[in-house]
């Protein structure tokens, strides 16, 4: 029997905490609570086509984007699963403009949870993989009091845990507490996440790139040259690369984590800070990829070193195999131009 068989998520987390005598077991419990929410969301995602849960709520989220019912379902499930366990002092969600306080009737904990309840939701109706992303910090304000925005606006370097659940051909939960990246596949027959990807390492160099090439006209000139470089033929450097872009960040990054690859959502004339959110998309994914041996930057600076200023802050993102990310950074540095010139609004 392989050593990973029947290693459940709960047992794996506890095994991990045994290596830290000072651990209280709190992180184990909150990650187990998260996995329960993931199972419930997975059930709904996998029958979305059968239950009248498709289509738009008619409402818009804080970013003016039309919200699918499944987005709000996942948002509500995560809050209901996580707000009473006594783990958190405050939460924040892509679907909520302001921080989410813990109801007064519940014990206030020492952790902070930021999450994107259902990323890639535009793919729900066409049965393309989507995902939940979560980021966990320890609070920085005094214990016992309600958490604040200050507890949320921490550098990604301070994360104590990060992870995602990808709802695809199977439901896989990937998490890290900084000691390895581990993947668990949900066995729906008995509702357990079983260890399926132990200590994942991303290849240092790849032959896959992920970017929305429809935005080519608006890109930084160095990025244009980089993409053209990837499309040239050179056997020694495995070029041309393969282009793979699902339009669902969790699916794209999960594939690149396992196979190697670089995922890019750059700034451009229309997205002057990129499109993806720092706190609950880029930071958690960056902790995972860096822990797996990869690299994540905004084109110049490590994502995890960015000091956030607002909750729904956006950032350009270049993430994946270390050599590939460093190369695109070099291409853009060579074409360094003033951002005024580059981002002057030509539209």
**Where on the chain is the footprint of ligand P6P (CB under 6 A)?**
119-120, 122, 212, 247-249, 275
Nearest residue to 162 (alpha-carbon basis) of 202, 192, 132: 132
Q: Could you tell me the smallest distance in angstroms from the CB atom of residue 162 to ligand P6P? A: 16
Q: Which is nearer to ligand P6P, 109 or 294 (CB)?
A: 294
Pair 238, 328: CB distance under 8 Å? no
Tokens of 337: 């131009």
Q: How far is the CB of 320 from ligand P6P (least distance, A)?
A: 13
Smallest gap, in angstroms, from Cβ of residue 276 to ligand P6P?
6
Question: How far apart (Å, rounded) are the C-alpha atoms in residues 50 and 125?
Answer: 11
Q: What angle do CA 37, 43, 44 make, to 5 degrees?
A: 95
Nearest distance from C-beta of residue 128 to ligand P6P, angstroms: 10
272 contact partners, CB below 8 Å, separation of at least 6 = 343
The token duo for 248 is 């669902």
Instruction: Note whether 227 and 211 are within 8 A (CB).
Output: yes
Question: Which of 182, 275 has the CB closer to ligand P6P?
Answer: 275
- Nearer CB in complex with ligand P6P: 90/264: 264
Nearer to ligand P6P, 13 or 296 (CB): 296
Name the residue nearer to ligand P6P (CB basis): 122 or 237: 122
Positive or negative, the Cα torsion across 100, 103, 106, 108?
A: positive
**Taking the complex as a whole, how short is the minimal distance between the CB of residue 93 and ligand P6P, in angstroms?**
14
């Amino acid at each position: 029997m392989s050593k990973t068989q029947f290693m459940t998520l709960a047992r794996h987390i506890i095994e991990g905490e045994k290596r830290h005598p000072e651990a209280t077991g709190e992180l184990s419990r909150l990650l187990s609570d998260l996995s329960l929410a993931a199972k419930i969301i997975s059930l709904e995602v996998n029958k979305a086509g059968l239950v009248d849960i498709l289509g738009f709520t008619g409402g818009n989220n804080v970013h003016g984007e039309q919200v699918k019912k499944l987005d709000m379902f996942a948002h509500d499930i995560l809050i209901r699963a996580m707000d009473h366990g006594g783990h958190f002092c405050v939460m924040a969600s892509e679907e909520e403009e302001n921080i989410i306080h813990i109801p007064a009737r519940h014990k206030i904990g020492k952790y902070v949870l930021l999450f994107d309840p259902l990323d890639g939701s535009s793919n729900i109706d066409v049965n393309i993989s989507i995902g939940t992303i979560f980021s966990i910090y320890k609070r920085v304000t005094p214990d016992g009091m309600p958490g604040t925005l200050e507890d949320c606006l921490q550098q990604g370097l301070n994360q104590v845990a990060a992870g995602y659940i990808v709802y695809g051909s199977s439901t896989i939960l990937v998490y890290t507490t900084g000691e390895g990246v581990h993947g668990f596949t949900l066995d729906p027959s008995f509702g357990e996440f079983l260890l399926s990807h132990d200590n994942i390492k991303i290849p240092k160099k790849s032959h896959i790139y992920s970017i929305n090439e429809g935005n080519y006209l608006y890109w930084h000139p160095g990025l244009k040259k980089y993409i053209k470089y990837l499309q040239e033929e050179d056997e020694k450097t495995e070029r041309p690369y393969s282009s793979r872009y699902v339009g669902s960040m969790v699916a794209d990054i999960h594939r690149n984590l396992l196979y190697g690859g670089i995922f890019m959502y750059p700034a451009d004339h229309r997205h002057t800070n990129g499109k993806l959110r720092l706190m609950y998309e880029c930071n958690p994914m960056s902790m995972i990829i860096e822990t797996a041996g990869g690299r994540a930057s905004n084109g110049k600076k490590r994502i995890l070193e960015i000091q956030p200023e607002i909750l729904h802050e956006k950032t350009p993102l270049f993430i994946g195999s270390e050599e590939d990310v460093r190369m695109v950074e070099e291409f853009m540095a060579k074409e360094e131009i003033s951002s005024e010139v580059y981002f002057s609004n030509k539209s």
